[in-house]
Amino acid sequence: MTARQPRFNQEVLIDTTPLPDDIPKVKEVGASSAPLMSASFFIGARCKSYNDDYMMCKHEANGRGELDCMREGRKVTRCAASVLEDINKHCIEQFRGHWKCLERNNQQMWNCRGPEIQLNKCVFDNIGLEKVIPGTPKDTIPIHLRDKQVFANPWRAYPVKRGQMPTLEEARTRAQEQAQPQQS
């Protein structure tokens, strides 16, 4: 049983025995790839410490991470689920718009800037999570804040009016603000 489920010619055999009762239950996230990709930066913004904690635990567990880091893993899942729940509560339309755009466009984020701008704005206003791409060069505008791009199809990527994009100064100041914590 490696990464594939054992598959036979008559049926798929899956062991359905639940976890023992002494291990706390956690509901799996259950989102598919496009919604997860759409929400990934917000998950990262809120759950970074949990994520790092889990990966660090697995790194230091000396090969027993699967068994020893279940507690941290549950925290990771619960945190991500809370982000998705908040987004679903406050920004369901923008969220749906963005991940459906991702589904249609080969899951390329650069082809879905228009819906993404609306989603980012809604999430920042209502939930307070902001999309930050670590490692972006300091003197450039982050890719998701540019109002003009080489690759994106302008009709598909920017169905919003130009006025809804941040202006250059806003984008620059935001880029500088984003670059600040990485120096320290």
Partner 1 sequence: MPQDMPPAGGYEPVQYKRNLPVRGFRPGWYVVGVAGIMTYGFYWYAKGIREQHEIAREKVWSRIYIMPLLQAEEDRDQVRRYLADRAREKELLGKETSPYNSDRFVRPWFAATPKDHTK
Q: Which residues bind partner 1 (CB under 8 A)?
A: 1-2, 6, 8-11, 13, 15, 17-20, 26, 28-29, 36-37, 40-41, 43-44, 47-48, 50-51, 54-55, 58, 62-67, 69-70, 72-74, 76-77, 80, 109-110, 133-136, 140, 142-144, 149-151
Under 8 Å between Cβ of 132 and 177: no
Smallest separation, CB 126 to partner 1 (Å): 20
Q: Are 94 and 33 in contact (CB under 8 A)?
A: no
Q: Tokens 């496009």 correspond to what residue? A: 34
Identity of the residue, 76 or 101, whose beta carbon is nearer to partner 1 in the bound complex: 76
Let me know: does 98 contact 38? Beta carbons within 8 Å.
yes
Of residues 109 and 122, the one with the C-beta less far from partner 1: 109
Residue closer to partner 1 (CB basis): 113 or 118: 113
- Of 92 and 143, nearer to partner 1 (C-beta) is 143
Q: How far apart are CA 178 and CA 184, in angstroms?
A: 12
**Beta carbon of residue 51, minimum distance to partner 1 (angstroms, whole number):** 4
Sequence-distant (≥ 6) Cβ neighbours of residue 136 within 8 angstroms: 142, 143, 175, 178, 179
Residue pair 46/82 in contact (Cβ under 8 Å)? The answer is yes
| Paired residues of 12 in beta bridges | 7
Shortest Cβ 6–partner 1 spacing (Å): 4
Q: Which residues pair with 7 in a beta bridge?
A: 12
Shortest distance, position 137 Cβ to partner 1, whole Å: 8
Smallest separation (angstroms) from partner 1 to the CB of 112: 12
